[in-house]
């Protein structure tokens, strides 16, 4: 059992718990401010995932360029959505770039490491295939 799998399962379980708790709350008391926020976050997460998938599918760029393009595309998406949802004011809209930037700074080394590990694994398996 790896830490990665434990964290992944915990996050999935947390998302399910939030959905169930809020679904029950909607039935009892309708869409409150907090429930509205969770629904808006789910919609934003869906839009970001969709944009990420489409960029992966249709843009063949180097890893760094891919991250730069995604950073600006997703920041623009968060910015636009934030204004529509009323999360940002004219004075603090730049916060969207910081939020997205922090996520990307954390994601880039993790992604690089994962790619390196996957390549090592595949090449080891190929080498094993040759010797067996």
Partner 1 sequence: MQIITKEVKDKPLTVTIEYPERTEFVDGLIRKIESLDISFSADDNGRQLKLKLAEVYYIENVERKLFVYGAKEVYRLNAGAAELEERFKDSGLVRISRTCIMNTDHLKEIRQLRNSRLEAVLDNDEKLIVSRKYLKDIKRVFKKG
- Which stretches of the chain bind partner 1, using CB under 8 A? 56-58, 60, 62-64, 66, 111-112, 115-116, 118-119, 121-123, 125-126
Give whichever of 89 and 121 is closer to partner 1, judged by the CB atom. Answer: 121
Task: Show the tokens assigned to 68.
Answer: 């730069």
Give whichever of 83 and 104 is closer to partner 1, judged by the CB atom. Answer: 104
Give the nearest distance from C-beta 22 to partner 1 in angstroms. Answer: 32
Give the nearest distance from C-beta 122 to partner 1 in angstroms. Answer: 5
The string of DSSP letters for 57-124 reads: HH----HHHHHHHHHHHHHHHHHHHHHHHT---TTTTTHHHHHHHHHHHHHHHHHHHHHHHHHHHHHH
Burial of 55 (0-12, 13-18, 19+ CB in 10 A): middle
Give the nearest distance from C-beta 56 to partner 1 in angstroms. Answer: 4
Give whichever of 9 and 56 is closer to partner 1, judged by the CB atom. Answer: 56
């Amino acid at each position: 059992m790896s830490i990665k799998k434990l964290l992944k399962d915990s996050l999935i379980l947390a998302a399910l718990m939030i959905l169930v708790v809020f679904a029950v709350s909607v039935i009892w008391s309708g869409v409150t401010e907090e429930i509205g926020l969770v629904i808006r976050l789910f919609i934003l997460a869906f839009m970001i995932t969709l944009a990420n998938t489409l960029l992966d599918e249709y843009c063949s760029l180097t890893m760094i360029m891919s991250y730069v393009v995604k950073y600006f595309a997703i920041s623009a998406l968060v910015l636009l959505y934030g204004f529509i949802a009323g999360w940002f004011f004219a004075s603090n809209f730049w916060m969207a770039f910081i939020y997205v930037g922090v996520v990307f700074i954390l994601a880039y080394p993790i992604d690089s490491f994962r790619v390196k590990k996957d390549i090592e694994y595949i090449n080891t398996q190929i080498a094993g295939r040759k010797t067996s």
